[in-house]
Amino acid sequence: MLILIFFTVFFYSFPGTAGGVIGLQSATYRFAPATSLPSYKNAGYEISQSGNGLIRVAVNAGPLKNNTLYPVQIQNKSARDVLRSNRVQPFPPSLPEIARRIVRPCHGYFQAVTALLNWVSRHFSYRLKGRTPLTGDCTAAAVLTVQLLSLAGIPARKATGVVVNGKQRVLSGKALHSFVEIYYPGTGWLFSDPLASHHFIPATYVLLHDASASNYFGLTLKCVKEPKPLRPVITKDRSGIPGRVNLFRFN
């Protein structure tokens, strides 16, 4: 583990922002009153519930080894279906050119995803009133991110959950949080929050399914065991948003 940490820091060291994270993280939650929650797992996040009602969220933010070049033809059928479905949705007329401009200098898939996420984090403003294409709530940010990624040929979909930064959270429509799940060839699906964390989400995020999220309204989600912080590392990415690092570079 120490060798991996040293290699990661050395590989990405430069005078800049400590924007990367690495490591494993977990947290435990419980609903009151007790209720069931569907399990789910992707390449960096897993949520499961035991027979006694405890909900465990485990996050793997270890460095990726994704050397997929960009652009690329998506071979995974389910990811292709997501991309095809997204491309038939309406989007602002200026977005295609914006997406092309962002990814034009990118030679790696991870690099292209990072560039698009960074663009959203820099240009989107969180605002509940007076919304525009670049202002709005977390759902608007997630939808914009999915649109930009899809226009760039990158499969993505909106995800819904609740962020528990304290000891407990009462679920309601206002408590829900939207983020995105992005497909990476050779790796699989990974969560990102375009305004808070790139290529991973921390264990404070409890995933819910869009179709059934309202079933939990009024329930209290209690934190039984809080997650320990992930380890920060120096990265080449100058974004102020923490991100999971990739061991391959495409400059």
**The domain that contains 91 carries what CATH number?**
3.10.620
Residue 178, pLDDT score: 97
Asked if residue 194 belongs to a domain, the reply is: yes
Domains: count for the chain: 1
Per-residue pLDDT of the chain (251 residues; tens, 9 = 90+): 333 333 333 333 323 344 899 999 999 999 999 999 999 999 999 999 999 999 999 999 999 999 999 999 999 999 999 999 998 888 888 999 999 999 999 999 999 999 999 999 999 999 887 778 899 999 999 999 999 999 999 999 999 999 998 889 999 999 999 999 999 999 999 999 999 999 999 999 999 988 899 999 999 999 999 999 999 998 777 778 999 999 998 87
204 within 8 A of 227, measured Cβ to Cβ: yes
Asked if residue 44 belongs to a domain, the reply is: yes
- Spell out the alpha helix ranges (H) of the chain: 2-12, 77-87, 95-103, 109-123, 138-151
Residue 11, pLDDT score: 33
Asked if residue 235 belongs to a domain, the reply is: no
Backbone dihedral region of 174: left (phi > 0), alpha (psi from -120 to 50 degrees) or beta? Answer: alpha
16 within 8 A of 242, measured Cβ to Cβ: no
Give Cβ neighbours of residue 186 (< 8 Å, ≥ 6 apart): 66, 67, 68
Provide the terminal-to-terminal Cα distance of the chain, rounded to the nearest Å: 27
Residue 153, pLDDT score: 98
Asked if residue 196 belongs to a domain, the reply is: yes
Look up the pTM and report it: 0.91
Asked if residue 111 belongs to a domain, the reply is: yes
Domain of residue 221, residue span:
23-230
| CA 246/CA 8 separation, integer angstroms | 9
23 within 8 A of 169, measured Cβ to Cβ: no
Residue 4, pLDDT score: 34
Give Cβ neighbours of residue 236 (< 8 Å, ≥ 6 apart): 12, 14, 16, 249
